[in-house]
């Protein structure tokens, strides 16, 4: 019999391994799914995602010719930029979070609680890119009380804890 033809059957858990039953006073308080994500976790998620593309650029740099000119370097930069666009926009549209967002529990949702559009995801990527190119100035908007950074404002999205 092949492994994909096997049918799994449930096995009852022994009483010694069961989780203790909690009373009403000991019930954990969970954060609501629409609570805004903490700023520090948002920063760590972004740094994780950006580090993926720094690693990609470093891994691809040995493929540059020995005498690197502006055309070769701009070609590598264009490739990394295009790959990062597809990564960010694709993961936001499919899952609402990137790898960094999955690690640090940060999800991007549309402000009107509808599905995020391609235009909104593209505007968010443009905001992230503009914020990174200005040394993080666009991300300082998240320090305001409404907690919306430049990418959030440009795209009509917000970051929540998932």
Q: What's the average pLDDT block by block, 10 residues per block, for the chain (162 residues)?
A: 62 57 50 74 95 95 87 93 97 94 93 88 96 94 92 94 83
Contacts for 120 with CB less than 8 Å, ≥ 6 apart:
110, 155, 156, 157
Which pLDDT score is estimated for 29? 44
In order, the DSSP letters of 87-127 are HHHHHHHHTS--HHHHHHTEEEEETTSSPPPHHHHHHHHHH
């Amino acid at each position: 019999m092949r492994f994909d033809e096997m049918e799994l059957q449930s096995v009852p858990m022994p009483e010694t391994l069961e989780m203790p039953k909690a009373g009403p006073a000991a019930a954990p308080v969970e954060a609501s799914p629409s609570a805004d994500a903490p700023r520090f976790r948002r920063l760590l998620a972004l740094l994780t995602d950006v580090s993926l593309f720094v690693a990609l650029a470093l891994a691809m740099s040995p493929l540059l010719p020995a005498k690197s000119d502006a055309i070769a370097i701009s070609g590598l930069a264009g490739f990394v930029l295009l790959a990062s666009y597809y990564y960010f926009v694709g993961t936001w549209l499919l899952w609402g979070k990137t790898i960094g967002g999955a690690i640090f529990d940060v999800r991007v949702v549309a402000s009107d609680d509808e599905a995020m559009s391609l235009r909104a995801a593209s505007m968010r990527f443009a905001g992230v890119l503009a914020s990174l190119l200005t040394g993080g100035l666009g991300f300082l908007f998240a320090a305001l009380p409404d907690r919306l950074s430049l990418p959030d404002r440009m795209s009509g999205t917000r970051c929540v804890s998932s």
